Structure 1
Amino acid sequence: MSQSAYIKLVKGSKDLQLTLQDVQDALLRYREMTALTGKQLGWDYENAAFPYTIETQGDERWFYLKGVTSPYKHIIIGTAETTTVGGDPVRCVQVVLPEESTHGDKSKANELCKYIAKSWLAELTMFNGRTVYYNPRK
């Protein structure tokens, strides 16, 4: 059975609108940051931190990350709209681990979700159902 995590853009987030391109840009920014870290450390940290290629199928609602090394297979990422407890519509990113995904995929997906949610000041519902609030709540 597949597992899902959700990154929700709620009140207090940097932006309340998002596109699939925004998610891809965030992943590319993550990859660039790890490449710079690797350059400072003198080793290929980029491929260890982001062992995927971004693959699109022509659908504007989702794309997937395809693993380039053996312990990683794939992660599916898409955008959607969901409702909150108050009934308000909220834009979100759904990160799905299909049945074929490995423990390595789950670890990387958790890491990527935390990075994106923190940079967007969003609310993150992780694969285990726990919620992490990166948005300012008053």
Structure 2
Amino acid sequence: MAEHAYIKLIPGSTLEVVQLDDIKELFHYYKTITEKTGVQLDWNYSENAFPYEIIDYKADADYIHLKATEDRYHSIFLGVGKEQVKDSEGLAALQHYIELILPELSTYGDKGKANEFSKFLAKKLKGELHLFNKRVMQYNLKK
């Protein structure tokens, strides 16, 4: 059975609406910073930190497919969506989110990387992270 985690963009997040291109851009930034860490450590850290290639995947919805380039990993899917929620005043509002999906064939390595990527994305977007184990982490400084 597939597992799901969500990064919800709440009031105060850096973006109100997220697109797949925004996620790709953040992953390219992630790869850049891990390359710089690898240079400092004199080790090829980038390939170990991001052992996937980014593939656009289209089924009934748009997704990004992170296909593994290493043996210990298989794949992770990322998609974007929106849902109706009630705001603090009780009015209906539209909330955008990023969904991370681990298919049945995913490995423990994929789950670890998905947790790492979700925390990175939630921190950069200042969002609300709903982890695979149903716990919630806030990366948005509340006033």
Q: Which segments of 5 or more consecutive residues in structure 1 lack a partner in the other structure?
A: none
Match of 2:71 in 1: 70
Aligned length: 138
Q: Which segments of 5 or more consecutive residues in structure 2 lack a partner in the other structure?
A: none
Match of 1:96 in 2: 101
Match of 1:51 in 2: 51
Code of the residue aligned with 1:126 in structure 2: it is: L
**Greater share of strand residues, 1 or 2?**
2
TM-score computed with the length of structure 1 as normaliser: 0.95
Q: Is the 8 A contact 1:12 1:121 kept in 2?
A: yes
Distance 1:28 1:4, change over 3 A: same
Match of 1:20 in 2: 20
Q: Work out the CA distance in 2 between the residues paired with 1:131 and 1:58.
A: 29
Q: Is the 8 A contact 1:61 1:80 kept in 2?
A: no
Q: Work out the CA distance in 1 between the residues paired with 2:57 and 2:48.
A: 25
TM-score computed with the length of structure 2 as normaliser: 0.91
1:66-112 per-residue CA deviation (whole Å, 9 max, x = no partner) reads 00010000000000002335442111000000000000000000000
Secondary structure of the equivalent of 1:115?
helix
Secondary structure of the equivalent of 1:88?
strand
Secondary structure of the equivalent of 2:57?
coil
Secondary structure of the equivalent of 2:11?
coil
Shift of 1:58: 5.0
Percent identity, aligned pairs only, is 37
From the CA coordinates, give the structure whose radius of gyration is larger. 2
